[in-house]
Amino acid sequence: MIRGALLFAFNSGRYDYYRMAEETAKRINHFLNLPVTIVTDEKSRTSSTGYNFDKIIITEPDKNNLRDWGVWINKGRYQAFELSPYDETILVDTDYMINSNKLLKTFDVSIDFCCHDTTSFLMYPDAPQEILSAYSFKTLWATVVTFRKTKRAKQIFECLEMVQKNYDHYANIHSFVGGVYRNDYALTLALRIANGHTVLPGDIIPWNLVHVGKKTSVYKNSDLPFNTEYTVLFDNWRRGKIRKEYAIIKDMDFHVMNKDNFMELIL
Amino acid sequence: MDTTTLILEAKARFNHNATKAYLKEKYESKLIIAEQGGLWKADNITITLLSALTNERVVLIDTFGNPVEVNRQELFDSLSNTYNSVMQEWHAEWKNLEGNR
C-alpha cells in the first residue's frame, strides 16, 4: 500500500496558495515522512521556489466562486479520489500547520474515509460548533480527509461532485447561504447522502480539529526550519476593554484561518 | 521581535484556562491507539475494566461503538504503557508552562 499526501493549491489574487503548499509539503515530508502530490494550475506553478513535489498534477481550475476579496478557487476537491496516485491518501488544506506525526494515526482510524466533525479554537475553548443552519446539521470539516481507494470512498467523492454541481439546490434545502461554495458544507452533505443520511462513527477522526481563529495571532518561538513551538496571542474583550492574553503551544497541528498569519509563520 | 519581548510589550497575561484546554486537546488524542482490530482510548475506565476482568479473551466496545474480541492482557499492557507515557508528558509540559506564568 502506497501512502501519500495530496494538496490542492490555486493562487488567488490575494494569496499565494502554491507557496503555502510548498511549505506544508516540506512539513509533511519531515513530520509524516510521506510523499506529497500537488494539484494546481500552470499560473500558480510560476510561484514555485523549486521544491520538488512527488508529483505535480495540472488541472484547469473552476474559477466560479467569488468572495469579498476576489476569486476563491476551492472547487473540484471531489477529484482527489481520481487524481491521487496513492492507495491511502491524506488530503489536507495548504493552511494546515503540521507540527507532529499525529495525522499518521488517521490511517488506523479509517477503513475507507474519515474527516473531522468537531473543532476547538485555541484561546477560545468554549466556541460553539458550526452548523450548516439553524435547521440543519453540524458541519463536517474538509481540512483533513484521509481515504483509501475503495468503492465506498469513490461513492463519497462522487456524491461530493454531485453536491458541488447542485450547491444552490442544497443550500436552499438546508437554509444556508449558497453564494460562496464551501467544501466543508459540501462534504457534510455528501458524506451523509453516501451513508444513507447518517454519519458513521468510523468516518470521524476521534479528536478535534484545532483552529486558530481570525482574532487570534500565532508567532513562531524560533526561526528554525521545522519549529514546533508557538506563542498564541488573543484579544479578550471584557467589559468594553481588550485584555491581551497568551498561551504557548508546541508539537500540535493546527489550522490557521487567517492566511496572512499563516504566511508569516512559514516565511 | 522575539515572542518574549512581544508578550512584555503587549502586556499580555498568561491564560491558564486556554493552556489547560490546549494540553487536554493535545494529550487526549495521544491516548487513542489502534490495536487488535479496534480503536481504543487509554483512559482510566478502559484500563480499570481490563484489570478487573479475568478471562484471557474478552469482548469490549471500542471508541466507534463496535464490540471487539481482544486478548485482555495484551490490550491492558498496551493501554497502560500508553497511559503512563502520555500522562508523564502531559504533566511535564503542564509544570513547565505553569512555571512561565
A38 within 8 A of A9, measured Cβ to Cβ:
yes
Residues A38 and A166 in one domain: yes
pLDDT digits (tens, 9 = 90+) for B32-89: 999 999 999 999 999 999 999 999 999 999 999 999 999 999 999 999 999 999 999 9
> Which chain A residue has the Cα nearest residue B7?
A246
Mean pLDDT of A90-104: 97
Mean pLDDT for A6-20 is: 93
Query: Do residues A8 and A74 both lie within one domain?
Result: yes
- The C-alpha R_g of chain B, in whole angstroms, comes to 19
Q: What is the pLDDT of residues A185-219, one digit of tens each?
A: 999 999 999 999 999 999 999 999 999 987 899 99
Domain range spanning residue A244? Answer: 212-266
Q: Which of A53-62, A71-80, B29-38 has the least mean pLDDT?
A: A71-80
> Are both A147 and A41 inside the same structural domain?
yes
Interface confidence (ipTM) of the complex:
0.90
Q: Does A208 touch chain B (CB under 8 A)?
A: yes
Regarding whether A147 and A230 lie in a shared domain, the answer is no
Share of chain A above pLDDT 70, in %: 99
The answer to whether A97 and A253 are in contact (CB under 8 A) is yes
For chain B, the structural domain boundaries read 15-99
Same domain, A174 and A255: no
Same domain, A51 and A66: yes
Where among A171, A191, A210 does a domain terminate? A210
Other Cβ atoms closer than 10 A to A27: 20
Domain-terminating residue out of A210, A237, A257:
A210
pLDDT score, position A243: 87
CA distances from B25 to A122, A125, B29, B77 (A): 10, 10, 7, 24
Q: Are residues A115 and A238 in the same domain?
A: no
| Cβ–Cβ contact B17 with A under 8 A | yes
Tell whether B61 lies on the interface with A, counting CB pairs under 8 A: no
The predicted pLDDT at position A123 comes to: 86
Least CB–CB distance from A108: residue in B6, B13, B34: B34
Structural domains in chain A (count): 2
State whether A206 and B13 contact (CB < 8 Å). no
The reply to whether A165 touches chain B by the CB within 8 Å rule is no
Identify the CATH number of the domain in which residue A39 sits: 3.90.550
Q: What is the pLDDT of residue A226?
A: 95
Which are the contacts of A183, defined by CB distance < 8 A and separation ≥ 6?
Answer: A74, A77, A142
Query: Quick check: A224 and A202 in contact, CB under 8 A?
Result: no
The separation between CA B82 and the C-alpha centre of its own chain, rounded to angstroms, equals 8
Residue A259 and residue A194 in one domain = no
Do A131 and A101 fall within a single domain?
A: yes
Are A135 and A234 members of one domain?
no
**With 70 as the cut, is the pLDDT of residue A6 above it?**
yes
In terms of Cα–Cα distance, which of A129, A133, A107, A102 is closest to A118?
A: A129
Q: For residue B39, which residues of chain A lie inside 8 Å, CB to CB?
A: 108-109, 206
Mean of pLDDT values over B90-95? 96
CA proximity to A110, closest of A141, A151, A146: A146
Tens-place pLDDT, residues A116-162: 999 999 988 888 999 999 988 999 999 999 999 999 999 999 999 99
Please work out, in degrees rounded to the nearest 5, the angle formed at the alpha carbon of residue A139 by the alpha carbons of A169 and A238.
Answer: 125
Indicate whether A89 and A191 sit together in one domain: yes
Nearest to A245 among B18, B28, B100 (CB): B18
Question: Residue A9 corresponds to which cell in the numbers above?
Answer: 493549491
